[in-house]
Amino acid sequence: MEVVVQITFGVIAVFILVAAAMVVSVRNVIHAALWLIACFFGVGALYMLLEAEFLAVVQVLIYVGAVSVLILFAIMLTRQITGEGVRQLTNRWPVVLAIATLLFATVLAPTLINQQWNVPPAPPLGTPEPIAGPAELGRGFVNEFLIQFQVVGVLLTVALIGAIVIAYEERARRRKVLTLAEELELKRLREQTSPTVPAPVEAEPVVQESRSASER
């Protein structure tokens, strides 16, 4: 039984690390986002292995279902969709790599492994162990963690409003999407008046196309 758990843990760990390494190294941003989703899944599986069932489901619901979709949306809204051929790492990436590796190899890993953790002895296999489940969590949120819970609620509301305000584009600045007849009319007018009128600033096309539907 223990061997099965060890193998499962090993597979999950390798999966998480490979996916994470791909996230930071792949050229294509969309591929990086997809690897990020794979990494979230791996972390969810690890929670499942650690018997934090509720957290595993929440991980899938929030990270895979919401955050990664948000990231994919943002990538697609900011044109250079694939990023192929664009340099993805800064010039200083070898330095950063060295720092990260050193941090792991000389500080974190030795400390974590050499530290004497006073882990309470695990009960022998087969004995039921009291583990806090969703019901206890819910009770905790309305008793001991009430203030924190409400602060997080306020934070989420603020973030929601803030995100809307930041990404909001004023009505007047949005480019109208014209029908073909209107466009020709406009072109004719422009040619008549002055040939030097600058064309309206081209912004990202995807945003406008999705906007256009809501403009009509």
Partner 1 sequence: MYDILQALINGTFGWGWPDWLIYLISSLVVVTIILVVAPLQMLFFTYYERRVIARMQDRIGPNRVGPEGIWQPIADGVKMFTKEDIVPEAADRIVHFLAPCVVVAPTILMFAVVPWGPGMTPVDLPTSLLFFFAVSSISAVGLMMAGWASNNKFSLLGAMRAVAQMVSYEIPAVLSLIAIVMIVGSLSINSIIEYQAGLLISNRDLPGIPDLGLGWFVFTPVGFVAFIAFFIAALAEGERTPFDIPEADSEIVAGYMTEYSGMKFGLFYLAQYVLNFLLCAITAILFFGGWQGPGVNWLYAQAITPTNPDGNGLFNVLAGALGVFYFLLKTYIFFFVMVWLRGAFPRLRIDQLMDFGWKFLIPLTLANLFSAAVWVAFTRWGAAEGMLITVGWSPVLRWLAAFIITLAINIGVYLWLTQVYAASQAERRRVELEELSATL
Partner 2 sequence: MLNAVPLPAVLTLAAALFCIGLFGALSRRNLIGVLMGVELMLNAVNINLVAFWRYFEARYITGQTFAIFIIAVAAAEAAVGLAMVIAVYRHYVTVQADEIDRLRG
Q: What whole-number distance in Å separates Cα of residue 40 and Cα of residue 185? A: 52
Nearer to partner 2, 164 or 180 (CB): 164
Interactions with partner 1, residue window 128-167 (CB under 8 A): 133-135
Determine, following the binding rule CB under 8 A, whether residue 27 of this chain makes contact with partner 1.
no
Binding-site partner at residue 76 among partner 2, partner 1, none, CB < 5 to 8 Å by type: partner 1
CB of 27 to partner 1, least distance (A): 13
CB of 76 to partner 2, least distance (A): 10
Contact 88, 27 (CB under 8 A): yes
Q: What is the 3-state secondary structure (H, E, C) of 124-189?
A: CCCCCCCCCCHHHHHHHHHCCCHHHHHHHHHHHHHHHHHHHHHHCCCHHHCCCCCCHHHHHHHHHH
Contact 59, 40 (CB under 8 A): yes
Give 83's Cβ-side CA count (13 Å radius).
Answer: 15
Determine, following the binding rule CB under 8 A, whether residue 18 of this chain makes contact with partner 1.
no
Task: Using alpha carbons, select from 36, 33, 39 the residue that is nearest to residue 72.
Answer: 33
CB of 132 to partner 1, least distance (A): 12
Nearer to partner 1, 20 or 76 (CB): 76
Q: Catalog residues that contact partner 1 under the rule CB under 8 A.
A: 30-31, 34, 37, 53-54, 57-58, 60-61, 64-66, 68-69, 72-73, 76, 81, 133-135, 171, 176, 182, 206, 209-210, 213-216
